[in-house]
């Protein structure tokens, strides 16, 4: 099989993703989920004309000439009702959020007034309507506020609460399984018995990333490079929306993933990618389950997850925006490479100093997980580009999607 370009691979993945089912959740449990319904407002916001300041409710024409002396006839706190009507030459003391008394059309902030002996002196003339929040100025009843597919952050929780949405409909979490394969790998806390053994990090990187993306994660543990054992685990693939393995997917003699998935009747959609790192990535489908065979090299594994599994998980949950969202930034250091056949994704740092700047991690090889320390983006080096010069404006892919 020839190398599949990234754009084509991404398209194939997304074509095979369908949106998950919906569930109704109490508001607080919906944090981090994606809305499965359009949310419209059932009321005007604000619902009544009210004061934006602490001060005095007046008629604008009474304060056209200043100083103006007005008779204080009442007081309206927030939540108050039944204010006397503001007639010519009178005023009502008012507080932020309190309904505007009948007859008044303007609020004078307390700082522009002086109150004494039952009268208020206004020292500044203000245009009619000043410091009044008008009914419906923010939202009209029936306005669409949050579209299906919106991620619910703290802000959206607050907005939904202000609409009295005790329950909201969201997409369910993707069920994602992780299986790490390799004769040499030992898990967190296990004893390393031989110098040739290594500590497994991939299952933990994937676990963390999948949780960050809102999945229900099933950790299926570590297995050796033994076809039977791997096959047994892969037989449960249909219990999940997404099944991920790491290791054993390149061209080595003990790389069994491809032959196992073929023997189990998976439809293989691509195997090798024209990207660096993460060339050996196998994408397949069994029924409605997506299968990703990711490489064992820790950086390759993480990059393959970020570039291909992430968009699938987002789309399943209703995310509709373009992926990846690229920004332009100025490179502060030159980069060169000998082989330009593949699109390369450098771990990088993006920051602002008068303009967007970026730099790449000095450790760039696919086994160097330390290249993620301090990184907040990938810097893209496109196919056929051998060199990026200091000062070039390059495409960067920030890690955060919000
Ligand atoms: P493989 O894809 O199986 O050929 O493995 C490629 C490299 O990744 C080898 O150096 C492995 O030791 C390493 N590797 C495989 N699995 C893991 C893992 N779970 N965590 C960290 N490194 C791994
Ligand atoms: Mg291996």
For the Cβ of 295 lying below 6 angstroms from any atom of ligand 1, the answer is yes
289/269 Cα distance (integer angstroms): 13
Decide: 144 and 38 in contact? Cβ < 8 Å. yes
Sequence-distant (≥ 6) Cβ neighbours of residue 48 within 8 angstroms: 99, 100, 135
Residue 272 C-beta-side C-alpha neighbours within 13 Å: 6
Atom of ligand 1 nearest to the CA of 297: 8
Task: Note the pTM of the prediction, 2 decimals.
Answer: 0.92
47/309 Cα distance (integer angstroms): 44
49/30 Cα distance (integer angstroms): 32
- Dist. CA 297 → ligand 1 center (Å): 5
**Domain limits of the chain?**
6-20+173-316, 24-44+142-171, 50-133, 327-398
pLDDT of residue 364: 83
- The CATH code that applies to domain 24-44+142-171 is 3.90.105.10
308/208 Cα distance (integer angstroms): 16
- CA-proximal residue: ligand 1, atom 11 (nearest): 296
DSSP conformation class of 312: H
- Dist. CA 65 → ligand 2 center (Å): 86
For the Cβ of 277 lying below 6 angstroms from any atom of ligand 1, the answer is no
How buried is 353 (Cβ within 10 angstroms: 0-12 exposed, 13-18 middle, 19+ buried)? exposed
Which of 186, 190, 200, 297 has most ligand 1 atoms within 8 Å of CB, for mutation? 297
pLDDT of residue 251: 87
How far CA 318 is from CA of 92, 227, 326, in Å, comes to 51, 36, 20
- Dist. CA 22 → ligand 1 center (Å): 37
Q: Is 24-44+142-171 the same fold as 6-20+173-316?
A: no
Segment-wise mean pLDDT, segments of 10 residues, the chain, 402 residues = 92 97 98 97 96 98 97 96 96 98 98 97 97 98 97 97 97 98 97 96 98 96 97 97 97 92 97 96 98 97 98 95 96 97 97 98 91 97 98 96 64
- CA-proximal residue: ligand 1, atom 6 (nearest): 296
Query: Which CATH number fits the domain 327-398, given the four candidates 3.30.470.20, 2.60.300.12, 2.40.340.10, 3.40.50.880?
Result: 2.40.340.10
Sequence-distant (≥ 6) Cβ neighbours of residue 33 within 8 angstroms: 25, 151, 152, 170, 171, 173, 214, 317
Q: What architecture does CATH give domain 50-133?
A: Beta Complex (2.170)
Atom of ligand 1 nearest to the CA of 280: 2
Which of 195, 198, 304 has most ligand 1 atoms within 8 Å of CB, for mutation? 198
Collapse the DSSP code of 43 into the 3-class scheme (helix H, G, I; strand E, B; otherwise coil) and give the result. Answer: coil
Least distant ligand from the CA of 296: 1
- Dist. CA 252 → ligand 2 center (Å): 8
- The DSSP annotation for 238-263 comes to GGSSEEEEES--SSSTT--HHHHHHH
- Dist. CA 281 → ligand 1 center (Å): 13
Residue 366 C-beta-side C-alpha neighbours within 13 Å: 17
112/316 Cα distance (integer angstroms): 56
- The CATH code that applies to domain 6-20+173-316 is 3.40.980.10
Tokens (6 digits) for 171: 């997409």
384/175 Cα distance (integer angstroms): 38
- CA-proximal residue: ligand 1, atom 23 (nearest): 296
For the Cβ of 41 lying below 6 angstroms from any atom of ligand 1, the answer is no
pLDDT of residue 401: 64
Least distant ligand from the CA of 249: 1
For the Cβ of 202 lying below 6 angstroms from any atom of ligand 1, the answer is yes
For the Cβ of 248 lying below 6 angstroms from any atom of ligand 1, the answer is yes
């Amino acid at each position: 099989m020839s190398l599949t370009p990234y754009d084509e691979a991404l398209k194939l993945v997304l074509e095979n993703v369908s949106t998950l089912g919906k569930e109704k959740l109490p508001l607080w449990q919906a944090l981090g989920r994606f809305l499965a319904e359009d949310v419209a407002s059932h009321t005007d916001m604000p619902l009544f004309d009210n004061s934006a300041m602490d001060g005095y409710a007046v008629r604008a024409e009474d304060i056209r000439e200043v100083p103006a002396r007005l008779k204080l006839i009442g007081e309206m706190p927030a939540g108050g009702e039944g204010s006397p009507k503001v007639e010519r030459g009178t005023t009502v003391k008012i507080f932020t959020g309190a309904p505007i008394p009948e007859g008044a059309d303007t609020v004078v902030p307390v700082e522009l007034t002086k109150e004494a002996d039952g009268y208020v002196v206004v020292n500044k003339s203000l245009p009619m309507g000043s410091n009044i929040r008008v009914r419906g100025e923010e939202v009209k009843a029936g306005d669409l506020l949050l579209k299906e597919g919106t991620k619910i952050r703290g802000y959206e929780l607050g907005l939904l609460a202000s609409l009295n949405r005790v329950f909201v409909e969201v997409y369910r979490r993707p069920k994602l399984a992780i299986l790490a394969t390799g004769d040499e790998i030992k898990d967190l806390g296990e004893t390393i018995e031989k110098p040739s053994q290594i500590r497994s990090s991939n299952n933990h990187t994937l676990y963390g990333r999948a949780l960050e993306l809102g999945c229900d994660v099933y950790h299926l543990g570590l297995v050796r490079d033994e076809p039977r054992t791997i096959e047994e685990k892969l037989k449960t693939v249909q219990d999940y929306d997404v099944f991920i393995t790491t290791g054993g997917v390149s061209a080595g003699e003990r790389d069994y993933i491809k032959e196992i998935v073929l023997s189990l009747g998976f439809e293989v959609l691509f195997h090798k990618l024209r990207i660096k790192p993460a060339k050996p990535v196998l994408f397949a489908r069994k029924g409605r389950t997506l299968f990703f065979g990711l490489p064992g090299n820790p950086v390759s594994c993480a990059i393959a997850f970020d570039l291909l599994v992430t968009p699938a998980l987002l789309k399943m949950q209703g995310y509709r925006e373009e992926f990846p969202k690229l920004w332009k930034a100025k490179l502060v250091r030159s980069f060169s490479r000998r082989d330009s056949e593949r699109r390369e994704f450098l771990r990088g740092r993006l920051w602002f100093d008068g303009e967007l700047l970026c730099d790449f991690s000095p450790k760039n090889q696919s086994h160097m997980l330390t290249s993620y320390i301090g990184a907040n983006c990938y810097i893209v080096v496109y196919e056929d580009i051998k060199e990026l010069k200091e000062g070039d404006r390059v495409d960067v892919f920030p890690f955060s999607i919000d």
